Amino acid sequence: MGKTLFDKVWDAHVVRQLDGGRSVLYIDRHYIHEVTSPVAFLGLKNRGIKVARPQQTTGTPDHNVPTLNQDRPVAEEQSRKQLESFSRNCEENGVEYFKLGSPGHGVVHIVGPEQGITQPGMTIVCGDSHTSTHGAFGAVAFGIGTSEVEMVFASQCILQPKPKTMRITVNGKRGKGVTAKDIVLYIISKISASGGTGHFIEFAGEAIRDLSMEERMTVCNMSIECGARGGIIAPDQTTFDYVKGRNRAPQGADFDKAVAAWKELYSDQDAHFDTEYAFDAADIEPMITYGTNPGMGMGITGTIPSGEGLSGSDKVSFDKSLNYMGFHSGEKMLGKKVDYVFLGSCTNGRIEDFRQFANAVKGRKKAPNVTAWLVPGSKMVEAQAKAEGLETILNEAGFELRQPGCSACLAMNADKIPSGMYSVSTSNRNFEGRQGPGARTMLAGPLVAAAAAVTGVISDPREVFNL
Ligand SMILES: CC(C)[C@H](C(=O)O)[C@@H](O)C(=O)O
Ligand code: SF4
């Protein structure tokens, strides 16, 4: 029987198979950030050892950083101390890191790919659940806990049970105004926020192959929001073209050699998946979430479901969720008021997202009732947005660019949505309080965010922008 793409990459990295199903897995790349590395570094220190393979480790501080005035000392004391100790830990261990404000700095899952550090066929871990993003390159990439970060520091290996495999095929062509975010929100709304539990998902089919690399990253980024360990997409010409020429990608003849190996990374015809789903891209419209988990999503023209068929604790949490959001079953989302719009995060903070948003709002004005936070995922995205004239377009429409960081994706820094306020957010989680205590998050793609930002209410981007 043939092998799945996931099996090919996983099996090639097994150092030792243990009784009970766990493997010692070799890790090619280890990304670190300031939130989940301090305790692991301390662990090393206490054992009197250092990072074993610093050249396979890359750091960037992102969660706590301010997104304004990054050239000035960080005002918030706890954040400042955390950034200082992150730099110190990296330096003491010979680990390269992108300092706040430096040209390569940004959100960890944006920085790795744009530097060409993320490559097909690798195993990649980070003490961060959205490490799944890197699966877009045909890498086995997944989030780990702080004690596992220490394990990888010390040994460049990790102890892992092998997940089950799932394939989600999206057939056909997507309609106008449908972004990668809409595709993945649609999938999660169909299989639920726990539908992928215990699995590693391969995304396949025409609508997935048609996606750019950045769009594939958006899909894989959110694969964990249905409970999966990660997502993966077979590398193809789109992948090779993206990697080629990047800072840390193999160069010249080495690149050609690498591509020849990467071309073997696909699921064999007769490979077996534990679970399979298939969807039709034509059924997907721009999406918006109405509740407090990413599975509570709907087409933008639809009505909030009734929760019929739910019982027991499921019904209780459905009702609690609508209550938190201040919404009712049977209502339309279209026309609901919006206070904040957040464009950014490792889901939708890349240059294509900024292009899409800027081109949509070009020649229009930000709605007066909306506060918009447009936060590039990295310094490279910020620089590119300026060089391409996107910043000018945005400024003319009444928007401003901030500086890179996780920002309002989670309430760990100064960018918090005030209690009770409604936020259309291009990030990946809409949990209670995720964007600030009491904040109400509606997840969407960059086009729905742009439509909300210029109309001040939830609107269909296909109508607002005549798509
Ligand atoms: C802080 C970090 C551990 C966390 C994660 O693991 O995902 C964060 O990035 C998030 O998105 O909630
Ligand atoms: S942008 Fe959001 S999801 Fe991504 S790493 Fe930062 S906090 Fe986590």
Q: How confident is the model at residue 1 (pLDDT cuts 50, 70, 90)?
A: confident
Residue 83 in domain: yes
For residue 176, which amino acid is it?
K
Single residue among 266, 297, 325 that ends a domain in this structure:
266
Span 204-223, pLDDT tens digits: 999 999 999 999 999 999 99
Q: Which residues, 6 or more positions from 345, have their beta carbon under 8 angstroms from its beta carbon? A: 107, 375, 377, 406, 407, 409, 425, 426, 427, 428
Tell me, yes or no, whether 246 and 298 share the same domain: no
Tell me, yes or no, whether 298 and 439 share the same domain: yes
Q: Is the CB of 360 under 6 A from ligand 2?
A: no
Residue 195 in domain: no
Tell me, yes or no, whether 21 and 132 share the same domain: yes
Tell me, yes or no, whether 300 and 227 share the same domain: no
Distance 429 CA to ligand 2 centre (A): 9
Q: Is the CB of 350 under 6 A from ligand 2?
A: no
- Residue 406: nearest ligand to its CA? 2
CA dist 7 and 105 (Å) reads 33
Tell me, yes or no, whether 394 and 259 share the same domain: no
Give the CATH number, domain containing residue 430: 3.30.499.10
Q: Domain limits at 361?
A: 289-464
Scanning the structure block, which residue is given the tokens 């530097």? 115
Residue 341 in domain: yes
Candidate of 142, 428, 435 to mutate for ligand 2, largest count of ligand atoms within 8 Å of Cβ: 428
Tell me, yes or no, whether 250 and 341 share the same domain: no
Task: Specify binding-site residues for [4Fe-4S] cluster.
Answer: 346, 406, 409
Residue 50 in domain: yes
Q: What's the pLDDT at 109?
A: 98
Scanning the structure block, which residue is given the tokens 């918090």? 416
Tell me, yes or no, whether 106 and 66 share the same domain: yes
For residue 384, which amino acid is it?
Q
* Atom number in ligand 1 closest to CA 406: 9
Domain count, the chain: 2
Tell me, yes or no, whether 154 and 246 share the same domain: yes
Tell me, yes or no, whether 250 and 354 share the same domain: no
Residue 197 in domain: no
Q: Say yes or no to pLDDT of 256 above 90.
A: yes
Q: Are 196 and 228 in contact (CB under 8 A)?
A: yes
For residue 393, which amino acid is it?
I
For residue 181, which amino acid is it?
K
Tell me, yes or no, whether 294 and 243 share the same domain: no
Q: What's the pLDDT at 411?
A: 87
Q: Is the CB of 35 under 6 A from ligand 2?
A: no
Confirm whether the ipTM is greater than 0.85: yes
What is the reported pTM?
Answer: 0.98
Residue 48 in domain: yes
Q: What's the pLDDT at 421?
A: 98
Tell me, yes or no, whether 315 and 247 share the same domain: no
Tell me, yes or no, whether 362 and 253 share the same domain: no
Residue 192 in domain: no
Distance 285 CA to ligand 2 centre (A): 25
